[in-house]
A and B are shown apart, each in its own frame.
Chain A
């Protein structure tokens, strides 16, 4: 049985696709068979972040409409051969997906892969509901900022009421908090909600904290998920997230601001 993990947030621009790409690739690098599905019909972007935009021929909606087989639509990653991407359609409207046909595709993928990572669109409309409906686990991506935290709480409500697991009365979706764009320095200065603040409000277990990092933009520029940038703090933080998803116990890092040395303090470094 594949683990179906939805990467969701409610609010847009908090790092769902960046996280889906990094975590999916990280899981594959650990030897798992992984497929990442872009659920953002009409606003395809996972292909760009993964660097495979030129290789998209068929997409999710083509598969659903029977215009292509799953194997035709899946794009094999060139870096890790146990990883594939199922791109979203760029032209069709969002109503193309429904519970029945998405369920069939997920079932078929579940026989081929260990992990199915669903990159959710922003919002709480049909597309986002479809991405979370079949999930076993949810990575709730949140920025330490009021509107993102509020929207995440909204999504937690949806996970608990609108998912397949909720409808069938099965064990609830396992929720994980992923805090992104975290700036320890601003937290210390009292300008940003801390990890503990967000944990307090959302009260779900913390999966990871990704520091605000220039490496993320560089990674998306290059189409190389940031987890491949093993020297960067964001890359390392995503690696920790992957290890935790695989059941390892890893201490949290990048939670404290770098202490300035006496010289840079004196001379304003």
Chain B
């Protein structure tokens, strides 16, 4: 059976430690990059206000909303708004 195991094991898609490392790094690096860029003072209040509006319609936790102001070089600034919804919240 050892032979069978050998072939079966190869097929399985395992979560490797390397992919875990990558995932953790992507999160922490993104987080640290955000705190590095000086964000305008109104962002926290804006976040609160948008959350309040969202909550009129759907139930969303605090961490479901992220807002970033990115300078794309030159005069171009992009306000990026990311709202994560869970499946059961969308149906409402």
Q: A247 at the A/B interface (Cβ < 8 Å)?
A: no
Q: B11 at the A/B interface (Cβ < 8 Å)?
A: no
Q: B56 at the A/B interface (Cβ < 8 Å)?
A: no
Q: A190 at the A/B interface (Cβ < 8 Å)?
A: yes
Q: A157 at the A/B interface (Cβ < 8 Å)?
A: yes
Among residues of B, the one whose C-beta sits closest to the C-beta of A146 is B21
Q: Do B16 and A197 touch (CB < 8 A)?
A: no
Chain A CB within 10 Å, residue with most, of B14, B22, B33: B22
Which one of B24-32, B46-54, B60-68, B76-84 contacts A? Answer: B24-32
Q: Do A149 and B25 touch (CB < 8 A)?
A: yes
Q: A125 at the A/B interface (Cβ < 8 Å)?
A: no
Q: B72 at the A/B interface (Cβ < 8 Å)?
A: no
Q: Do B18 and A190 touch (CB < 8 A)?
A: yes
Q: A266 at the A/B interface (Cβ < 8 Å)?
A: no
Q: B36 at the A/B interface (Cβ < 8 Å)?
A: yes
Contact A193 to B18, CB < 8 A, known contacts A146-B24, A146-B25: yes
Q: Do A157 and B28 touch (CB < 8 A)?
A: no
Give every chain A residue within 8 A of B25 (Cβ-Cβ). Answer: 146, 149-150, 193, 201
Q: B17 at the A/B interface (Cβ < 8 Å)?
A: yes
Q: Do B21 and A193 touch (CB < 8 A)?
A: yes
Q: Do A201 and B26 touch (CB < 8 A)?
A: yes
Q: A180 at the A/B interface (Cβ < 8 Å)?
A: no
Q: Do A192 and B18 touch (CB < 8 A)?
A: yes
Residue-wise, chain A 223-241 has the 8 Å CB interface mask toward B (1 for contact) of 0000000000000000000
Q: B45 at the A/B interface (Cβ < 8 Å)?
A: no
Give every chain B residue within 8 A of A191 (Cβ-Cβ). Answer: 16-18
Number of interface residues, chain A, beta carbon within 8 A: 19
Give every chain B residue within 8 A of A197 (Cβ-Cβ). Answer: 18, 21-22
CA distance A145 to B24 in the complex (A): 11
CA distance A219 to B16 in the complex (A): 34
Q: Do A157 and B33 touch (CB < 8 A)?
A: yes
28 residue pairs A–B, Cβ–Cβ below 8 Å:
A146-B21, A146-B24, A146-B25, A149-B25, A149-B29, A150-B28, A150-B29, A150-B32, A153-B33, A154-B32, A157-B32, A157-B33, A157-B36, A187-B18, A190-B14, A190-B16, A191-B16, A191-B18, A192-B18, A193-B21, A193-B25, A197-B22, A200-B22, A200-B26, A201-B25, A201-B26, A201-B29, A202-B29
Q: A194 at the A/B interface (Cβ < 8 Å)?
A: yes
CB distance from B11 to the nearest CB of A (A): 14
Give every chain B residue within 8 A of A153 (Cβ-Cβ). Answer: 29, 32-33
Among residues of B, the one whose C-beta sits closest to the C-beta of A154 is B32
CA distance A161 to B90 in the complex (A): 41
Q: Do A194 and B33 touch (CB < 8 A)?
A: no
Give every chain B residue within 8 A of A194 (Cβ-Cβ). Answer: 18
Among residues of A, the one whose C-beta sits closest to the C-beta of B16 is A190
Contact with B17, one of A149, A150, A190, A200 (Cβ below 8 angstroms): A190
